[in-house]
């Protein structure tokens, strides 16, 4: 899996510090041990110190200089991070007492460490819900100045022998924005293009997807995709983007030659922007479970610093991949 191998190699070179907010979870511990053995990142584990040590012992591993443990309830950082959260949220009516309680929550503690500059990125969601992880990130880290929309994508790796077309692809938004309007869909496309280049080093080729190709059907949802495509083209004339396209016209050159012969993508898109979360989520799961693609995500984009979500059904390998993604994103946030 060359794209994944490159991602892991680049992570090992960067040596960023990633906070894992569910530090006592066995999957998190396994991923931490593997990340350290491969030199992928420095790790901060958040949680009960005794429980974390117990899990590390079960795996016959030992702490090294690249692993820190913070129990929020006992950490000397708590007051400092609570004060930071109060400064960030007092305009919303948050009191000092509420800030202290919130900062003691592991996923908030982790995100506040990133906001404070004590770590380069954070990962959570093996236990907490996506809503909690995203809320903590938005309330602490905030969004990039150029966008107010936090969206997500899955990095889909087609590397098996049976895949007719191999490589890395982005499916967006497949995990967060439920029903984007045209402007939001355009922002998802622009953010995904930057994410693709950051993670793969390759040129983004964006397909704005619909059930229609170049006017083959008329519907308000098709019009949304047409408008979104125009907004992307206006925002970044240098970006290779086309729409509205059905998936086959964006992915299969022979089909593109028949259905969309004037498309600049020529059936070679590597970023697929879906018109709704419903369609994007279904598509990535079909590609993963039926097509045998490796799905890494949901990866968050649009935040001022890296914070990422895990599926509660994630494996240790999934966590390891997300650590690598987070370190890659952190490279883009150098001050």
Q: Are 180 and 188 contacting, i.e. CB atoms less than 8 angstroms apart? A: yes
- What CATH number is associated with residue 106? 3.40.50.10950
Query: Rounded to the nearest 5 degrees, what angle is found at the Cα of 42, between the Cα atoms of 39 and 43?
Result: 120
Query: Phi/psi class of residue 302: alpha, beta or left (left: φ > 0; alpha: ψ in -120 to 50)?
Result: left
313 in a domain, yes or no? yes
Residues 189 and 131 in one domain: no
Residues 123 and 36 in one domain: yes
299 in a domain, yes or no? no
SS3 of residue 332 by DSSP: coil
DSSP structure string for 162-192: T-SS-EEEEEESSSS-SS--HHHHHHHHHHH
Tell me the residue range of the domain where 130 lies.
Answer: 2-142+304-331
120 in a domain, yes or no? yes
294 in a domain, yes or no? no
297 in a domain, yes or no? no
Query: In the structure encoding, which two tokens stand for residue 11, read together?
Result: 């992570």
295 in a domain, yes or no? no
In the sheet that holds 17-20, the strands lie side by side as 67-70, 42-46, 17-20, 121-124, 307-309
pLDDT score recorded for residue 12: 63
Query: In the structure encoding, which two tokens stand for residue 33, read together?
Result: 């041990």
Residues 19 and 79 in one domain: yes
Total domains present in the chain: 2
Residues 38 and 119 in one domain: yes
Residues 313 and 267 in one domain: no
> How far apart are alpha carbons 228 and 225 in whole angstroms?
5
Residues 129 and 188 in one domain: no
Residues 114 and 173 in one domain: no
Which residue, 263, 284, 260, 259, is CA-closest to 273?
284
116 in a domain, yes or no? yes
Residues 51 and 160 in one domain: no
Residue 263, phi then psi, degrees to nearest 5: -70, 130
pLDDT score recorded for residue 65: 78
The tens place of each residue's pLDDT in the chain, 335 residues long, gives 577 777 777 766 778 999 999 999 999 999 999 999 888 899 999 999 999 999 888 877 777 778 999 999 899 999 999 999 999 999 999 999 999 999 999 999 999 999 999 999 999 999 999 899 999 999 999 999 888 899 999 999 998 788 888 899 999 999 899 999 999 999 999 999 999 999 998 999 999 999 999 978 889 999 999 999 999 999 999 999 998 999 999 999 999 999 999 999 999 999 999 999 999 999 999 999 999 999 998 899 999 999 999 988 889 999 999 999 999 899 877 54
- What CATH number is associated with residue 164? 3.40.50.10750
pLDDT score recorded for residue 297: 86
SS3 of residue 240 by DSSP: strand
Angle of the 96-103 helix axis to the 106-116 helix axis, nearest 10: 100
Residues 157 and 137 in one domain: no
298 in a domain, yes or no? no
Residues 155 and 138 in one domain: no
Which residue, 86, 114, 119, 116, is CA-closest to 100?
86
Residues 69 and 38 in one domain: yes
pLDDT score recorded for residue 215: 79
Residues 137 and 159 in one domain: no
Tell me the H-state helices in the chain.
2-14, 26-37, 49-58, 78-89, 96-103, 106-116, 130-140, 182-200, 220-235, 247-251, 253-259, 277-289, 316-331
Q: Are 302 and 151 contacting, i.e. CB atoms less than 8 angstroms apart? A: yes
């Amino acid at each position: 899996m060359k794209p994944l191998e490159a991602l892991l190699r680049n992570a090992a070179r960067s040596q960023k510090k990633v906070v894992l907010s569910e530090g006592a979870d066995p999957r998190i511990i396994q991923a931490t041990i593997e990340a350290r053995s491969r030199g992928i990142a420095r790790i901060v584990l958040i949680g009960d110190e005794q429980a974390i040590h117990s899990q590390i012992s079960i795996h016959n591993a030992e702490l090294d200089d690249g692993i820190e443990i913070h129990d929020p309830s006992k950490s000397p950082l708590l007051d400092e991070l609570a004060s930071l959260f109060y400064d960030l949220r007092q305009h919303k009516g948050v009191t000092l007492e509420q800030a202290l309680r919130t900062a003691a929550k592991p996923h908030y503690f982790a995100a506040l460490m990133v906001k404070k500059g004590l770590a380069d990125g954070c990962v959570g969601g093996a236990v907490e819900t996506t809503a909690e992880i995203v809320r903590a990130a938005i309330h602490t880290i905030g969004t990039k100045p150029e966008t107010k929309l936090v969206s997500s994508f899955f990095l889909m790796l087609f590397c098996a022998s049976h895949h007719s077309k191999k490589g890395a692809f982005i499916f967006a938004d497949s995990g967060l924005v439920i029903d984007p309007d045209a402007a939001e869909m355009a922002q998802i496309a622009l953010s995904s293009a930057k994410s693709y280049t950051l993670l793969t080093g390759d040129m983004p080729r964006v397909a704005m997807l619909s059930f229609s190709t170049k006017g083959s059907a008329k519907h308000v949802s098709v019009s949304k995709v047409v408008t979104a495509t125009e907004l992307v083209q206006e925002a970044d004339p240098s970006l290779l983007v086309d729409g509205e396209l059905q998936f086959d016209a964006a992915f299969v050159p022979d089909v593109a030659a028949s259905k969309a012969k004037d498309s600049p993508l020529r059936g070679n898109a590597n970023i697929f922007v879906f018109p709704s979360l419903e369609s994007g989520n279904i598509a990535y799961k079909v590609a993963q479970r039926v097509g045998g693609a490796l799905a890494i995500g949901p990866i968050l984009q649009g935040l001022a610093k890296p914070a990422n979500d895990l599926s509660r059904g994630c494996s240790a390998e999934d966590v390891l991949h997300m650590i690598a993604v987070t370190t890659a994103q952190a490279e883009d946030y150098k001050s």
